[in-house]
């Protein structure tokens, strides 16, 4: 393998250790950072993610308030839960795990969370402020984590052509906004490709940095990767594998082995972007708690 591995697990552990120090300093000042976690229904993947997030909070000294309504909760009742967390002074951040069951309106729920408690960075106020260059706006954890991973390779993003495959509200779209910012770890020239892009390979081959977030197992083949690229694989997909004890294995959106023969840097799956998502969420939560001490005006994000 030619590429060097970007060790998200180790980098995330370093960030979590820093977060734990910050949380403990805050606790000494009388504020225990608190995260409200809402998981609607029993989607197995969401249950795993939420368990990982709450466990990481405990380790970092962040208190969690877990609320797990049944899948058939009404929109009104879910909004009431958000209202209650908004009003709770011990809850500094709120996370409503997505996706929600189909009958619920995700946008309305996201917009109900106070921007200053929106540690997921999904509220349009935070997205808008981020797009306009406000460094204090909360940023979605996954793209913020990807930026951190790229920074730690030492590869300068300034003026580089970054190709993002995927335009989701959670990853691709905010990723493009972040990498366009006038700041270290950004200042890039960004192309966003998606399911309607024609001749995808001709685009991905231009990426000095290639970020893939589509949720399709190994969709980006090795020969679609530019020589010397930094490859960030956001996908985590289960594929059947009877040879394993669990009957499946996890693969990314990039054909790892072949891509690693062409890239200079690559993230593994698992152990790449995934752990960073959790670390950045914790970091945002401690920031939200810190701001309550600094007396940020209501509505400031
Ligand atoms: N579902 C997938 N990723 C995320 C995330 O970062 N936050 C929330 N709330 N839901 C998700």
In short, whether 98's Cβ falls inside 6 Å of ligand 1 is yes
Tell me the longest C-alpha to C-alpha distance in the chain. Answer: 56
* Structure-token match 């995927």, residue found: 166
Distance 36 CA to ligand 1 centre (A): 14
Query: Which residues span the domain enclosing 170?
Result: 141-276
Same domain, 165 and 239: yes
pLDDT at 299: 47
Q: Which atom of ligand 1 is nearest to the CA of 96?
A: 9
Quickly count: other Cβ atoms within 10 Å of residue 297's Cβ.
Answer: 7
Instruction: Output the pLDDT for position 296.
Output: 61
Contact yes or no for 117/94 (Cβ under 8 A)? yes
Instruction: Look up residue 254 and give its DSSP letter.
Output: B
Are 79 and 202 within one domain? no
Cβ of 52 closer than 6 Å to ligand 1, yes or no, is no
- Per the structure block, which two tokens stand in for 49? 């993610």
For residue 6, tell me if it sits in a domain: no
Q: Tell me the pLDDT tens digit for each residue of 136-187.
A: 999 999 999 999 999 999 999 999 999 999 999 999 999 999 999 999 999 9
Same domain membership, residue 265 and residue 218: yes
* CA 273 / ligand 1 centre spacing (Å): 13
206 as an active site residue: the answer is: no
Residue 181 falls in the annotated catalytic set:
no
Asked whether residue 147 falls in the same domain as residue 245, the answer is yes
Say if 272 falls within a structural domain: yes
Q: At what angle do helices 273-293 and 8-28 cross, to 10 degrees?
A: 20
User: Do 63 and 71 form a contact (C-beta atoms < 8 A)?
Assistant: no
Tokens read off for 90: 């011990």
Write b or e for each residue in 247-272: b if 16 or more Cβ atoms lie within 10 A of its Cβ, otherwise e.
Answer: eeebbbbbbbebbbebbbbbbbbebb
209 Cα: distance to centroid of ligand 1 (angstroms):
24
Dist CA 54 CA 62 (whole Å): 9
Q: Whose CA is nearest to atom 11 of ligand 1?
A: 98
Q: Say yes or no: 81 and 197 in one domain.
A: no
Please report, for residues 3, 236, 301, the alpha-carbon distance to residue 262 in angstroms, rounded to integers and kept in the order given: 7, 21, 41
Ligand 1 pocket: which of 50, 98, 113 to mutate (most atoms within 8 A of CB):
98
Rounded (10°) angle between helices 141-153 and 273-293:
110
**Residue 227 within a domain:** yes
CA distances from 161 to 6, 154, 181, 193 (A): 19, 16, 14, 13
Question: What would the two tokens of residue 301 be?
Answer: 């994000």
Q: According to the model, what pLDDT value does residue 295 have?
A: 75
> Does 107 lie in the same domain as 191?
no
Residue 173 C-alpha to ligand 1 middle, in angstroms? Answer: 14
Confidence at residue 188, expressed as pLDDT on a 0 to 100 scale: 98
* pLDDT score at 298: 47
Q: Are residues 151 and 216 in the same domain?
A: yes
Quote the tokens at residue 85: 């967390």
* Number of separate domains in the chain: 2
- Model-level pTM? 0.95
Ranges of the chain whose pLDDT falls below 70 = 296-301
Give yes or no: residues 172 and 215 share one domain. yes
Query: Which is the catalytic residue, given 120, 181, 233, 253?
Result: 120
Whole-number Å distance between alpha carbons of 294 and 8: 31
């Amino acid at each position: 393998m030619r590429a060097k591995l970007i060790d998200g697990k180790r980098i995330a552990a370093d960030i979590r250790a820093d977060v734990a120090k910050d949380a403990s300093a805050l606790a000494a000042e009388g504020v225990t950072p608190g995260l409200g976690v809402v998981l609607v229904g029993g989607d197995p993947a969401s249950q795993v993610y939420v368990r990982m997030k709450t466990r990481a909070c405990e380790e970092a000294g962040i208190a969690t308030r877990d609320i797990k309504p049944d899948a058939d909760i009404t929109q009104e009742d879910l909004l009431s839960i958000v209202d209650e967390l908004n009003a709770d002074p011990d809850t500094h951040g709120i996370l409503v795990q997505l996706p929600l069951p189909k009958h619920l309106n995700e946008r309305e729920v996201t917009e109900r969370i106070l921007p200053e408690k929106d540690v997921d960075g999904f509220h349009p106020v935070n997205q808008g402020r981020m797009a306009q260059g406000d460094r204090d706006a909360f940023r979605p954890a996954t793209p913020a984590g990807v930026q951190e991973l790229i920074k730690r390779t030492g590869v300068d993003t300034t003026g580089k052509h970054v190709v993002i495959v995927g335009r989701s509200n959670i990853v691709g779209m905010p990723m493009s906004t972040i990498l366009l910012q006038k700041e270290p770890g950004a200042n890039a020239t960004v192309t966003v490709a998606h399911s309607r892009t024609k001749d995808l390979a001709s685009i991905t081959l231009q990426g000095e940095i290639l970020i893939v977030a589509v949720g399709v197992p190994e969709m980006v083949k090795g020969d679609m990767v530019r020589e010397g690229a930094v490859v960030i694989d956001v996908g985590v997909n289960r594929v059947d594998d009877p040879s394993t004890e669990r009957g499946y294995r996890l693969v990314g959106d990039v054909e790892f082995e072949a891509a690693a023969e062409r890239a200079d840097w690559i993230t593994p799956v698992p152990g790449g972007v995934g752990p960073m998502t959790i670390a950045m969420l914790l970091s945002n939560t401690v920031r939200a708690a810190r701001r309550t001490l600094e007396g940020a005006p209501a509505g400031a994000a």
